[in-house]
Structure 1
Amino acid sequence: MHRDTGPQHPPGPPPPPDLGWPDVPLPALALDGQGRALAVNAALAERAGLPREALLAEGWWQLLAPEALPPLRAALRPGQQAVLQLPLAPPAGGRAMLEPTEPVTLMLGWQRTTGLHLAVMGTVSGLWRTLAAEQSRSRVQQRLGDMLPVMIAYYGGAERVCRYANQAYASFYGFDTQAIVGRSLREVLGDDGVRDVQPEVQAMLQQRRTVSYTRAWAPADGGPRRWVDVNLIPHVAEPGPRGDGPTLGAFVLVSDVSRFIDTERALRESEERLRKFMDASVEGIAFHRDGVITDVNAPMAALVGHAREALIGQPVMRFIAPDHVARVGAGLARLSELPYEAACLHADGHEVPIEIIARAIEHEGQPLRMVVVRDIRDRQAARARMQHLAEHDALTGLRNRGAFMAALQAAIEHPPVPGGCQALLFVDLDHFKRINDALGHLAGDALLRAVAERLRGALPPGAVAGRFGGDEFVILLPQVADADAARAAAQQLQAAMGAPVHWGGRSMAVTPTIGVALHPADGDSADALLRHADAALYAGKAAGRATVMLFQPAMAAAIEAGLQLEARIAQGLRQGEFDWRLQPRCALADGRLRGLQAQLHWHHPARGSLALAEFAPAAAQAGLLQPLLDWALAGALHLLADWSALQLGVPLCLALGGLAQRAAGLAERVERALDAAPCGGRSAAGRLALEFDAALLADDAGLVTDLLQRLQARGVAVWLAGVGAGALPLGLLRSATAGAGPLAGLVLDPGLAAVPAGSAVDLAVLRSLVALAGGLGLALCAPGVAGSAQWQALQEAGCEQAQGPWVAAAMTPAEATAWLATQRP
């Protein structure tokens, strides 16, 4: 239901400030610093013939002639009192406010409590008549005079006797308002004072005009000297028959301007100090008015290469570099004091980058602009260095990831040859980690710097190189003819990067593997190209490293499958999808059981049973090798505990393969697993063995030795797998087998285990490994034995143990437990 609330009116103007003034019959108003009226009394509205509301704010300016506003605004300074004679204009629609035969006076007084100037305006005759009309009410008259914002007095007759003085005037000269009335000008000012003002008094009387002057006044009580502005305004009678009338007296308006005289003196002194400051400043300082230079200091003159005298009077824009004229012109036009950058012209013609900070000031009543000009060449050089650091790798000086990706994106969006072919190369240094581990990070850093320098020197014109971190580099070849040209360019860069580096008396070398993706054939975005170049790199690593591999669509599918595996491994651990496949190891001589090897398998819900080699790389990428290793150790120890309870005392060799890629931290994880196992792992003592890839021995020799010693202390034996596929550190083998060392045996590489059916050379290699194992007192096991012929050949070659499908098929833990129960002790 709508309720009519009646017409809505906008809110009225805010109430005028409480000025503490009575509603006196003199025209009066309160002004802010811009000359706007915040309050107007009834007398002014009546004289103007306009309502008060029409005179508020700028409204009362219609009473003034246009030329009256500048001197009015100049006088409206905080703390200042003034007496002005202003030209008037009749208000539109109103009537003439004051008598046109006399000048109009505006008396301004500062009111500290409100921050406003209180102004009284009118002619001398009008002011005096107002005061005289109140003589019958002397207290009202006196109060009215005391409220005027300046010192005021009236002297009449030939004797120049004071007929009236307000409180401010009387107290300034040492009287009260009653005692000063009836005293002559000589009695008020003294002989010296009369002598000083006599010329101005005579000029007023003779010329019948207002006379203004400033003089010093020394109070009779010995107080500090004061400065006053005095206005002598003649009080002329009504014109007689001859057009003039006698001068009846003088209306005296006095303002104490001591503070402003002192301020002016201080200003002159401050200008001198400013000149000294300008000359001492290391920054350029210039003053200009309306774009014309009025003064500069020595640093400013030196900045533009001209003498100071040659700059004064010249336009500012003459010394601005052409490309910055518009910016500086806009800066001159606006009043903002925010700093901005530009460039000035030196006398020899070169540009100097500068920062400009402008300040608007006033000097001798005129607006002036002070400009501080800073030479920012050092700042720009520092900024360029910071920009370089922000976009480049600190170690190699090549572009960092963010800067390279920006360059790649720009090249894709704006190729140098529209429709042309571009190549992205992803580079990884093979086995770089071994350099860091063996020689330290300083050596690794030296190698990376040398590789980057060689890469930079071998880049074709227009190519861009960057470092993505670690030992990964990326290269953009913006113009290649085709895939073959991209491959050839990559091979040239590979050769340059792979040359040996000499550091610290050593020769270091790494072989780069490079993956290549082409634009637009292999991707139309920076992200797609990078992923596909990385996929080609991954394929190159899998193919044996030290190669250049071009991207093929199948590589992306393989990467995607790897990513899916990575995402699924953690879930598989939580859901119990991992288990063992166990194979017996038997003696080739008599077929007796020597133990079981346990290999980790994953029951993938979509892909079936996966061997460790199929998911270990994905686990490494996902950072899940350690959780898998912990699970494998705990599972093997629980299986041994179960067998011990069933009195099946058979050794178990846990094949860690890709789960243990480094020796660091491995001993701690095994010890924690043993401590957490049933009975503190005592049931596993002497029956648990760990099978590592022989490549683990290439890790830091100190770490490997520590690992082997700590495993030996806990009764854990060690087997090395993949023997024959790579280098074996014979010194470490000797120390690991000395006495009762932890090393229990060697497992042949599957390729060598099949060589009895191969060449005589392969057979000789096998027999040499058999001799090595026998000489070290180690067992030698051949994996993957698939038939009796292979079994017999390995037996004849001297191999001690064998495992594989011909010996027994891989079994689950439950199947292996049941199988063990059927074997003879």
Structure 2
Amino acid sequence: MRLRLLAFSNLSTKISFVFGASVVAVIAAMVAFWYYGFAPLNLKGTRDQRISDIIATQSIQANARIRLLADDLRERRGNLQILASSPEFSALLNALPPTESEAKASLQHTLETAFARLAWAYPDSYASIVLIIGDRQHILAAPAQTVQPPPADAHWLDTVLTPGAIDTVMLDRDTSASAPLLILARQILAPTGETLGTLVLRMIPGNLLAPLARADETLLGPSGRIDLIDGAGTYLAHQVPTKAIPGTSPPSLPAKNHGIEGSFIETRPDGGADIATYRYLQIGADDGWSLVIRRDQDEAFDYIVDRRNRVILLSLMVAAVSMLLVRLFARQLTRPLSALIDTSERIAAGEASVRMPRSMTEHTEELARLARSFNHMAAQVDSRRQRLEIEVNQRTEELAREKATLQRYLDVAGAIMLVLSPTGRIQLINRIGCEIVGRDESELIGGNWFALCLPERLHPDIHQVLETLVSGQRNELSRYEYPILTSDGRERTIAWANTVLRDQDGHITGILASGLDVTDARAAEAAVRDAHDLLHTVIDTSPDWIFAKDRQQRYILVNQAMASALGQSPRAMIGQAAPELDLEDRRDRDDYSDDAVLSGKSVHLRAEHVRDKAGRERILDTYKRPLRDANGQINGLLAYGRDTTAQHEMEAQLRLWAKVFECSSEGVMITDPTHRIVAVNRAFSEITGYTEREAVGQTPRLLSSGRHDAVFYDALRATVDKKDRWQGEIWNRRKNGEVYPQWLTINAVRDPTGTLTHFAGVFSDISGIKRSEARLEHLAHHDPLTGLPNRMLLLDRLGHSIERARRHQHALAVCFLDLDNFKHVNDSLGHHVGDELLKAIASELQRHIRSEDTLSRIGGDEFVLLIDALESIASVERIVRKLLGVLREPRRIAGHQLYLSGSIGVSLFPQDGDDADTLIQHADSAMYDAKQLGKNRFRFYTQSLTNGAMKRLRIESALREAAVNKQLTLAYQPQIDLETGELLGVEALLRWTHPELGAIPPDIFIPIAEEAGLIDEIGAWVLDAACQQLSDWEAKGWSPPCMAVNVSVCQLRQPDLPKQVQRALDRARLPASRLELEITESAIAGHDGVAAIHRLASLGVIISVDDFGTGYSSLSYLKKLPIRKLKIDKSFVADLTTDSNDEAIVRSVIALAGDLGLDVIAEGVELEAHRCFLLDNGCRQGQGYLFDRPLSADALFQRYSTR
């Protein structure tokens, strides 16, 4: 067993094994010494050092964080001190009785402003701010929208209201929040030392810890965490930089560790251990917080484990490299033997020219002699091989020349030439064969002819033919046909001739096959046969007489109708001579004889009389013409005769009835009992288009329109059979194919014995009446301008579509489309251009929807598209986007190039409604929302749109009553000189307080007023009220320099706006220079706005541009218009100290105004930093909460009249 295990396949492997085993043993010994050897260097000696390093790192982090926490807490207390010492609080608390509602409102506003500034400076930091007036007489809290004032019996109030407790820091543990709140309290003292109130900031302690958690994994590790715990062991905050330690929960500080500082190894509930570092922060006189930094001990040792793994990996790599070097050395030793073996194997494989390498002949003496002997032997063998190859190549070239010559002979043949082996393998094939088969010669040579080119159904028969030839039973087979398959699967019929090929000894070596493609010839023959059979079938099935004679007047063709009428068979009459038939008129007998036809004349015998087998006389209408051979020689005649006996009888009757029918204006049709038409009048032909000759002999089916089914006609016939009369409306078809309505009366005609003899139908064309009805019906259901379905037809189709959708469980969509700014087209170019534009758009939209969908116009510029059998939401989006693209395309209407867009709202069944009205209403709501978002877009319906629409509708309804019920008021915000604080003017701001809806912001109700057409009335009231208020202040002895009033875009479009302004000034007896009109940029973008502004400026009022920079910002208007002031929008002022872009914009506006000689004012000035920046950059006017909020007229007068 041992000898078998140590047996090797070659010498190289054995050498590699011996040396490799030695190297591995040495490396294993080195690794063992490192792991268990000298203690200071081994693996176990580094664990304690690792713990010491982590404790040092955590101590540094804890010290830094506890200092930051203390600094942050001091900063928050400083903020509270600044607020508590603010003159605003002390002035309001000292000057006004706290019981007055207006004083409470002022304090609430000041409190809200203070909280807003804190929230801006410390986002998401403070929970609320509380003002306690006196000893709990009143408690106010901000923000009032989300925070309720604390109850008067809250336990922490006793602490913060303790006399002498000016500055208090404590925790509110009774709060309903998930964690206690931090209370920072500061008493507000009067100059006399009396406590006026207490200001309290409440915040979540965790917000103090948030900045302290900005530690990366390099310092705290993936499992690092920071906990903040108060002195009672209550969890305050918990911050984890990366991930939580598995199995842990927020800790409670053990009582024994409260107030201590140091580092410990603590055991977790899950059995793991943490390295914890504690730091203590004294918060109040009797309270303090502990900051704890923890890290998982096992994670700390990951570094040591990783070091061990790297050592083992390095050892394995050294062992692998050593084994590789040993293997290379062994291969170098055995290379000469391997080269000798390789050369021998290559010569044996046929590489006769290969030799032992020259390096081998210069190796050791024994190997060199062996290599030279081996090369000499190989040279002898190669010489003999070369002589044989020369002979073979010569014979091969001779055979190739012979084969090429044979191939040329075969290619010039006009048929397939094929040489097959006895087994059917293709040895040669000519060009014609390749072309017919549709394959290249390379594909065919060597392949089995029968497998490649023969239908499988013929394999047994062909194999039998092949066996007959190969066995020697026959030397050749000629003129037999079988089909072959082409490369595209079609069959071609080939006429084959085969010959056996033999060698000099008479042995069969192959088969020479010649094939002619007769596919087209056989197809032509089959077509001739089919045509011959068809001709005989047509002739024999014809009711007319058809016959032909040769020059000896013997029948060579007789059809069945003629033979049957004469009582013979067609076969019996062929070859017989026939006597001349009697003629009604003998005068032209010679002209109409068969001899005349055989002489080359074609004749027409209108009344040729013969007797049938029953002896009755028949009248034939016969045509005869000569028959000619290929050389044009007459070799017989062909005759065609129609039995017109009945026709002659009818003609006699028709002549009688024609006299009666001529005077009738209604169509008359008379049929026999079998419903064959026997008579019609002239009115019949005029109405139906069929002549009398075309109608007689036919049935009324000739006029059938196909609109009535068999049930209708069965009921009609049953009524006539029962009552001998039927009257009603029926749809028939004219000869030209037009379907038209008739009013038809059918009467059964009977003889005195009651036998039915005829049916008489009298009818009139009621197409005109129907067209009028159809026109009225179309107008009732279609839009007269565009021809599209109107609302009535849309609701009908939508109702049917909903029913189908319910039955088949599929969805549908309703798209409400409204053209953007279409009113501008009507107003500027006229309604005739608008109508043409609507027709063009309707036509284009109709071309881009599916035939099963419905596009309707429901009024004005509103269209509704019904998308039936909806595939998916994505398909609706594709259709809607395509329609928006169609609307955006330019159109030339009446010489004007028009550009338009549209807004589309989409509702879906069944999600958004289950009836037609609801779906259309919801799609309309979605369309309105799309317009609000900026037009030229689409929106899907959501429930919030309905809620918004209902709220908007309620607001609009309430707004119509607001002015009457005196719910509208004006508030006035002062405009201040930023340097001196002097009042420069006031801006009148519209306010609305509804008794049920409460205070409604202007940015909500003003757009509704504009859309509802109420803004003109409201704007006129604002102008009158503002001017009158300025006049009232003057009567009291106080006169603000200017009153600013906002003017909307809609007001500028009213031509009588200058008159309204002048009337308001006249009523108040004010000069125009005291009134400033603020107009937005979008209002001056149109020609109408420019003209209106010029008219207003001519009155002497001041024109200013409001919200400058947020609209079109067209500088050309600043040059053209009489503008005197620019107002910087508050959106640029709000972030003035933090956003460099806003700073650049504000500087640019101020510089632009200065260069153009315009005044500039900034709105939204709320911080002292705003005022300083504006003043430093050249803006001297401003308004905002830094100076005052909008006030009532009385409050403004009381505050500023004494300045």
The equivalent position to 2:789 in structure 1, one of 399, 404, 417, is: 399
- The aligned counterpart of 1:637 is 1027
> Residue 582 of structure 1 contacts residue 812 of structure 1 at CA under 8 Å; is this kept in 2?
yes
**Is residue 421 of structure 1 aligned with residue 421 of structure 2?**
no
Q: Which one-letter code corresponds to 1:303 in the other structure? A: I
Per-residue displacement from partner, 1:367-420 (whole Å, max 9, x unpaired)?
Answer: 999976343456656655665554444444443333223222221122287221
Alignment of 1:338-357 (within 5 A): 341-346=729-734, 350=737, 352-356=739-743
* Partner of residue 284 from structure 1, selected from 645, 667, 670: 667
**Residues 145-184 of structure 1 mapped to structure 2, 5 A cutoff:** none
Aligned to 2:867: 477
1:518 maps to 908
User: The residue matched to 2:1111 in structure 1 has which SS?
Assistant: coil
Which of 1077, 1100, 1105 pairs up with 1:715?
1100
Work out whether residues 391 and 402 of structure 1, in 8 Å CA contact, stay in contact via their aligned partners in 2.
yes
Question: Contact (CA 8 Å) 1:612, 1:657: kept in 2 or not?
Answer: no
Q: Tell me, which stretches of 5 or more residues in structure 1 are unaligned?
A: 1-273, 738-742
Local SS of the residue matching 1:459: coil
Distance 1:448 1:343, change over 3 A: closer
| Distance in 2 between residues matched to 1:533 and 1:800, nearest whole Å | 51
- How does 1:479-518 map onto structure 2 within 5 Å? 479-502=869-892, 508-518=898-908
- Indicate the SS of the match to 1:399: coil
Quote how far apart the aligned CAs of 1:620 are. Answer: 3.7
Which AA in structure 1 matches 2:1080? D
In structure 1, what is the equivalent of residue 1053 of structure 2? 664
Q: Which residue of 2 aligns with 1:551?
A: 941
User: How far did 1:327 drift?
Assistant: 7.9
Contact 1:752 1:762 in 2 (8 A): yes
**1:108-257 pair list within 5 angstroms:** none
Is the CA contact (8 Å cut-off) linking 2:791 and 2:857 kept in structure 1? yes
Aligned: 1:688 with 2:1075:
yes
For 1:594-633, what aligned pairs fall within 5 Å after superposition?
A: 594-633=984-1023
Counterpart of 1:299 in structure 2 is: 683
CA deviations on 1:99-137 (whole Å, 9 max, x unpaired) are xxxxxxxxxxxxxxxxxxxxxxxxxxxxxxxxxxxxxxx
CA distance in 2, matches of 1:521, 1:624: 36
**Unaligned residue ranges in structure 2 (runs of 5+):** 1-656
Identity %: 28
Please show how residues 41-56 of structure 1 align to structure 2 within 5 Å. Answer: none
Matched, 1:531 2:921: yes
Measured in 2, the distance between the counterparts of 1:281 and 1:732 equals 81
C-alpha spacing 1:489/1:657, structure 2 compared with 1 (3 Å): farther
User: Following the alignment from structure 1 to structure 2, what is the Cα–Cα distance between the partners of residues 588 and 650?
Assistant: 16
CA separation of 1:765 and 1:381: change in aligned 2, threshold 3 A: farther
Correspondence for 2:1146: 766
CA distance in 2, matches of 1:765, 1:339: 88
Matching of residues 251-330 of structure 1 within 5 Å: 279=662, 284=667, 297-308=681-692, 322-323=708-709, 325=713
Counterpart selection for 1:734 from 1119, 1131, 1151: 1119
Residue 583 of structure 1 deviates from its aligned partner by: 0.7
Does the 8 A contact of 1:535 with 1:555 survive in 2? yes
Hey, what does 2:1197 align to over in structure 1? Answer: 817
**Cα distance change of structure 1 residues 370 and 692 upon mapping to structure 2, 3 Å threshold:** farther
Distance in 2 (CA, whole Å) between partners of 1:463 and 1:403 is 13
Change (3 A) 1:281 1:719: farther
Q: Would you say 1:568 and 2:955 are equivalent positions?
A: no
Cα distance change of structure 1 residues 319 and 549 upon mapping to structure 2, 3 Å threshold: closer
Return the alpha-carbon distance in structure 2 between the equivalents of residues 280 and 799 of structure 1: 102
User: Does residue 785 in structure 1 map to residue 1165 in structure 2?
Assistant: yes
Q: Distance in 1 between matches of 2:1013 and 2:715?
A: 56
Q: 1:299 to 1:729 in 2, by over 3 A?
A: farther
Match of 1:686, SS?
Answer: helix
Shift of 1:298: 0.7
Deviation at 1:809, TM superposition (A): 0.9
TM-score normalised over the length of structure 2:
0.40
Which deviations, in whole Å up to 9, do the C-alpha atoms of 1:508-541 show, x marking residues without a partner?
A: 4334332221110111111211222222223323
Q: Tell me: CA distance 1:618–1:674, structure 2 relative to 1, closer, same or farther (3 Å).
A: same
Bigger Rg, structure 1 or 2: 2
User: In structure 2, what is the equivalent of residue 84 of structure 1?
Assistant: none
State the alpha-carbon separation in 2 of the partners of residues 436 and 731 from structure 1.
27
- Alpha carbons of structure 1 residues 330 and 302: separation in structure 2 relative to 1, 3 Å: farther
Other-structure match for 1:725:
1110
Find the counterpart in structure 1 of residue 305 from structure 2. Answer: none
Classify 1:462/1:801 alpha carbon distance in 2 versus 1 (closer, same or farther; 3 Å). farther
Aligned 8 A contact 1:600 1:611 in 2:
no
Check conservation: 1:787, 1:806, Cα contact below 8 A: yes
Q: State whether residues 1030 and 1043 of structure 2, in contact with CA within 8 Å, keep that contact through their aligned partners in structure 1.
A: no
Structure scoring higher RCO (CA < 8 A, sep ≥ 6) equals 1
Instruction: Tell me, yes or no, if structure 1 residue 542 matches structure 2 residue 932.
Output: yes
CA distance in 2, matches of 1:338, 1:598: 85
Q: Which residue of 2 aligns with 1:70?
A: none
Tell me the C-alpha RMSD between the 2 structures. 4.3
Is 1:752 aligned to 2:1132, yes or no?
A: yes
Contact 1:637 1:684 in 2 (8 A): no
CA distance in 1, matches of 2:784, 2:700: 44
Secondary structure (helix, strand or coil) at the match of 2:1073 reads coil
Matched-pair contact (CA < 8 Å) for 2:905–2:938: yes
Q: Describe how 1:52-71 pairs up with structure 2 within 5 A.
A: none
- 2:1128/2:1162 contact within 8 Å kept: yes
- With over 3 angstroms needed to count, the CA separation of the structure-2 counterparts of 1:796 and 1:327, relative to structure 1, is farther
Aligned residue pairs: how many?
540
**Range moving further from structure 2, 407-416 or 381-390:** 381-390
Q: How far apart in 1 are the matches of 2:1095 and 2:725?
A: 73
Q: Deviations over 1:463-495 (max 9, x none)?
A: 322233333332222233444443344233323
Amino acid at match of 2:913: G
Residue 85 of structure 1 aligns with which residue?
none
Structure 1 residues 746, 300: CA separation in 2 closer, same or farther (over 3 Å shift)?
Answer: same
| 2:789/2:856 contact within 8 Å kept | yes
After TM superposition, the score normalised by the length of structure 1 is 0.57
1:375-394 residue pairs with structure 2 within 5 A?
375-377=765-767, 380=770, 384=774, 387-394=777-784
Assess if the C-alpha contact under 8 Å between 2:1072 and 2:1100 holds in 1: yes
SS at match of 2:934: coil
Amino acid at match of 1:342: I
Which residue identity is paired with 1:284?
Answer: G
Relative distance call for 1:463 and 1:729 in structure 2 (3 A) is same
Report how far residue 434 of structure 1 moved: 4.2
Task: For 2:659 and 2:721, locate their aligned partners in 1 and report how far apart those are by CA, in whole Å.
Answer: 29
Specify the code of the residue in structure 1 equivalent to 2:930: G
Question: Per-residue displacement from partner, 1:534-583 (whole Å, max 9, x unpaired)?
Answer: 22223323333333322222221111111111121122222111101211
Please tell me the residue identity of whatever aligns with 1:714. Answer: L
SS in 2 for 1:415: helix
Selected match of 2:983 from 577, 593, 596? 593
Q: Which residue identity is paired with 1:354?
A: P
